[in-house]
Structure 1
């Protein structure tokens, strides 16, 4: 009886340790995804409590190491207009979250097997020096060339009410893909910000010069599938989704 209880306890401890390892790896995948993607859904509440989710541009703070005043720890950096619904809802009710997902490629690709996450935290208005604001603007325009028309303090800007914000990630509900082969669960802010392992956070400029964003897709696929089965059906599925 005692032997059986000890065996069950050891198995439970092994499962906890394995899940913890997968959670840390999922944090790496989530951080890579935030660094590579460039659009998010800004989730807020209307005055009547109805949830609203609107797309906004962002750039990862990991992509802006030369900008002082940023956390440089995977937090998304947004440019919001005071006229926007996202901004107005945030001002009325500071309860917000953001959703980021890996972009779907091609008709036969599956969004359900892609990494995505709901990021919980707080929005912080940035107070940057003139030189740091210009550096941040350069990084932002690399990802979003049309954003030059509403950059704060720019002469050519057509909109003069935009401000820089950093979304400070406190936790992530992460879905790595299908549950039988990818991590699904919570990632603490501490793990998301700290655990990068030996994996390199990708410089988005590197992909801008590749001329083929499929390389970006392959990078995230390899990261999210590392813990999955390498069986025959997974191989067939990988081949099919490339076309």
Structure 2
């Protein structure tokens, strides 16, 4: 009996040596969210301002304020459009036929010159996005902005991860800005505050290097990624809320790295 017991002990010890250790998680253990009250929805849509110490995920409304501020503080954005299904030889001279129906995104100068959250840009006749909107199968475009570069300029260093910084996608179509709107909204002065060099090719500039028109991305939908989903709102914004937000409202919120 003693021999059998000794043999069993030896087998158990051998098996334990062959069994691989449990994997070690690099993520911290989850903590219960005691700060959330029963009446608080994680994605609340009520226009309640959250203080910075709260761990509740910001509401859609508060995120809309952040998104409008991000647009106002963004001098550039990536403008995406779609090539038509049939590439003609006219405006698409030297364009490969293989890009038919393909999307393309290119950086553009932008400025937030109107109160409704539709960014202003210069639609040059030579611009790919302008040609796609004018001659393509769809006038739809989208423009994306992020806080990645602006954050580095503010704090003087790279963040520990850019994935936790805000970005925004605005979907709509290109629309020419009328001469009266250009004057009423001070489009030229507003745009040149951010882009003084644009006077060399902007519409109406004497000796402009290119022909073009003032245009807006008429925003129909807005998609917001505030950062990591466990602490920021991610999702579609209400377009009516987006258009109603005032400069006074978005002026009260701050993006990462900004000081009050």
| TM-score between the two structures when normalised by the length of structure 2 | 0.64
- Answering whether residue 44 of structure 2 is matched by residue 18 of structure 1, we say yes
* Equivalent residue, structure 2, for 1:96: 141
Q: Is the radius of gyration larger for structure 1 or structure 2? A: 2
- Answering whether residue 116 of structure 2 is matched by residue 73 of structure 1, we say yes
* Equivalent residue, structure 2, for 1:213: none
- Answering whether residue 104 of structure 2 is matched by residue 52 of structure 1, we say yes
* Structure 1 contact 81–163 (Cα < 8 Å) conserved: yes
Cα-Cα RMSD: 2.8
* Equivalent residue, structure 2, for 1:4: none
Q: Which runs of 5+ in 1 are unaligned?
A: 1-9, 63-71, 203-217, 224-243
Q: Which runs of 5+ in 2 are unaligned?
A: 1-36, 48-58, 85-99
In the TM superposition, what whole-angstrom CA distance separates every residue of 1:88-136 from its partner, at most 9, and x where no partner exists?
Answer: 1111121211111113315532321211111112221111149718932
CA–CA separation in structure 1 for the residues paired with 2:118 and 2:219: 6
**Structure 1 residue 145, shift from structure 2 partner:** 1.3
CA–CA separation in structure 2 for the residues paired with 1:131 and 1:60: 13
- Answering whether residue 254 of structure 2 is matched by residue 219 of structure 1, we say yes
When residues 15 and 35 of structure 1 are mapped into structure 2, their CA distance, relative to the original with a 3 A threshold, is: same
Q: More deviation in 45-54 or 122-131?
A: 122-131
**Structure 1 residue 53, shift from structure 2 partner:** 0.5
CA–CA separation in structure 1 for the residues paired with 2:146 and 2:124: 23
1:186-205 matched pairs, under 5 angstroms: 186-195=236-245, 199-201=249-251
| 1:163 counterpart (198, 213, 216) | 213
Of Structure 1 and Structure 2, the greater helix share is in: 1
When residues 15 and 124 of structure 1 are mapped into structure 2, their CA distance, relative to the original with a 3 A threshold, is: same
Q: Give 3-state SS (helix, strand or coil) of 1:178's partner.
A: coil
CA–CA separation in structure 2 for the residues paired with 1:98 and 1:49: 18
When residues 191 and 151 of structure 1 are mapped into structure 2, their CA distance, relative to the original with a 3 A threshold, is: same
**Structure 1 residue 162, shift from structure 2 partner:** 1.2
CA–CA separation in structure 2 for the residues paired with 1:177 and 1:55: 22
In the TM superposition, what whole-angstrom CA distance separates every residue of 1:176-212 from its partner, at most 9, and x where no partner exists?
Answer: 011111110110211111245963538xxxxxxxxxx
Q: Give 3-state SS (helix, strand or coil) of 1:79's partner.
A: strand
CA–CA separation in structure 2 for the residues paired with 1:17 and 1:127: 39
CA–CA separation in structure 2 for the residues paired with 1:182 and 1:128: 40
CA–CA separation in structure 2 for the residues paired with 1:16 and 1:176: 14
